[in-house]
């Protein structure tokens, strides 16, 4: 088992942002992955909803996963939200999730669940009504374990994929 901790992103650390973009490139196809520029913009715009999983000793400081997304008053994610940080509404009713990424060699150890739990707790603390995300069909059962409800095929065509809208309401 990997020993790790979850913490807020260091939005002002260019090396950390590059490491996050590298994780994103491993976890998503090129058409769907956020660029380092997009990661940087997100980290600056909504650091309160951008968490990283960092490995403890012996690899102190190695990032192994992250979760991020803007706050919004919308009930589903629009494709524009992935690229335009001005869609972030700090007092929004819902916490959107743009990505939940864990390096392949670190999966199946509860890291993704830990990241999800951290963002759910932050959303509750911020007084949000719940969280929204889009996922591929094969991941619907995973998110349902957290209490998300499948709303069906999304209008999102991000990266040319078929996505499903999911919502977790408090």
Q: What is the CATH number of the domain that holds 56?
A: 3.40.630.30
Q: Cβ contacts of residue 145 below 8 Å, gap of 6+?
A: none
Could you read off the pLDDT of 48-60 as tens digits, one per residue?
999 999 999 766 7
Note the pTM of the prediction, 2 decimals. 0.95
Could you read off the pLDDT of 12-46 as tens digits, one per residue?
999 999 999 999 999 999 999 999 999 999 999 99
Tokens (6 digits) for 120: 């759910």
- Are the beta carbons of 66 and 9 closer than 8 angstroms? yes
The arrangement of strands across the sheet holding 50-55 comes to: 4-8, 50-55, 63-68, 99-102
Q: Which domain holds residue 149?
A: 4-169
* Structural domain count of the chain: 1
Structure confidence at residue 59 (pLDDT): 65
Structure confidence at residue 58 (pLDDT): 67
Q: Mean pLDDT in the chain?
A: 96
Identify the bridge partners of residue 96 per DSSP, sorted by sequence position.
Answer: 132
In the chain, which residues have pLDDT < 50? none
């Amino acid at each position: 088992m990997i020993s790790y901790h979850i913490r807020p992103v260091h939005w002002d650390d260019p090396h950390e942002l590059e490491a996050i973009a590298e994780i994103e490139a491993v976890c998503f196809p090129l058409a769907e992955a956020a660029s380092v520029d997009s990661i940087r913009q997100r980290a600056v715009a909504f650091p309160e909803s951008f968490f990283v999983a960092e490995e403890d000793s012996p690899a102190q400081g190695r990032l192994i996963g992250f979760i991020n997304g803007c706050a919004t008053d919308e009930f589903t994610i629009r494709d524009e939200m992935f690229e335009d940080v001005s869609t972030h509404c700090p007092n929004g009713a819902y916490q959107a999730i743009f990505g939940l990424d864990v390096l392949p060699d670190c999966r199946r150890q509860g890291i993704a669940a830990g990241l999800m739990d951290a963002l759910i707790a932050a959303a509750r603390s911020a007084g949000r009504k719940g969280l929204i995300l889009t996922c591929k069909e094969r991941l619907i059962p995973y998110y349902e374990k957290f209490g998300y409800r499948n709303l069906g095929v999304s209008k999102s065509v991000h990266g040319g994929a078929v996505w499903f809208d999911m919502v977790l309401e408090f």
